[in-house]
Amino acid sequence: MSVLPPAGHAGRLTLGHTMGPVVRHLSVCLLAIVTVALSACGSPPRVSSPSPTAPPTATPTLAPDTESLTLVSQGLGAYQAVVVPVAVIHNAATRTGVRGVVVHFVPTRGGRALTPLDSPAVTLYPGQTLAVTADCTDTCNNTGTVRDPDGLMVTIGAGTWAPLPGSALTATAVRSSCTSGCGGGHGQWDVAAVVGSPELSQGTRVDVFTWCTNAGGAIVGGSPPSVVLWPQSGGMLSLTLHAILSSPPSTCHVGASAPI
């Protein structure tokens, strides 16, 4: 079979019908390659950044507590054969209580020491203020045959410091009235009080004190320590305390303590 071009067509090659499908096929291939390349160059994958970790919170360090007892005020009451020294003490600690505190009294006359006396052992909760008393009958004031004591020395004994359960007892003076010696300044005054706590157990010893002040705030006396064996579980009791005063009072107060 001859492949020479027909006469008159020497040196010419006709591609019209033979190249068309080839060109179309090449175009399709190029489009596919471009499509694949664009797909490969799509948006980069998202990378999650870890959330920042909060620094640990430091636990605050509490400053050491102030474990000390201070003497707020003192005074004494005298009537007939009875002398009652009074000391108001305060627990300066904010978190720590103290128990087994005994206050030592020495009444004086003209600078001379008379009979040494001790209060009952008491408990003070953080920040609590409490008055304690003692009883000196006959040996401090011999039925009026000598002058009343005119001074008082007070020393606060060391107690045991520790966190205490519960809270201080509730003690409130309701009213007071003179019952003896009312015309001479010195005398006995009865103080009605309400004392108690929901935390008291039956049979617990409760020491109750009352102290009275004049219009200027000076202590004019108080009651000898009164001991109550708690007759019930919790609750409140109404009591009458007998205060020995050197002059008429303006205000009377009541405090109470129970061992822990």
Chain segment 194-246, per-residue pLDDT in tens: 999 999 999 999 999 999 999 999 999 999 999 999 999 999 999 999 999 99
Among 37, 18, 40, smallest CA distance to 29 is for 37
**Residue 116 pLDDT class (50, 70, 90 cuts):** very high
pTM: 0.75
Give rounded-to-5 percent helix, strand, coil for the chain.
10, 45, 50
Three-state DSSP class for residue 7: coil
Query: Does residue 110 contact residue 170 with C-beta atoms inside 8 Å?
Result: no
Residues 88, 129, 123, 175: what is their CA dihedral angle, to the nearest 10 degrees? 80
pLDDT tens figures, 27-81: 443 344 444 444 444 555 565 566 666 666 666 777 788 899 999 999 999 998 8
pLDDT of the residue at 260: 83
Q: How far apart are the first and last CA of the chain?
A: 131
Query: Does residue 88 contact residue 219 with C-beta atoms inside 8 Å?
Result: yes
Among 87, 89, 68, smallest CA distance to 77 is for 87
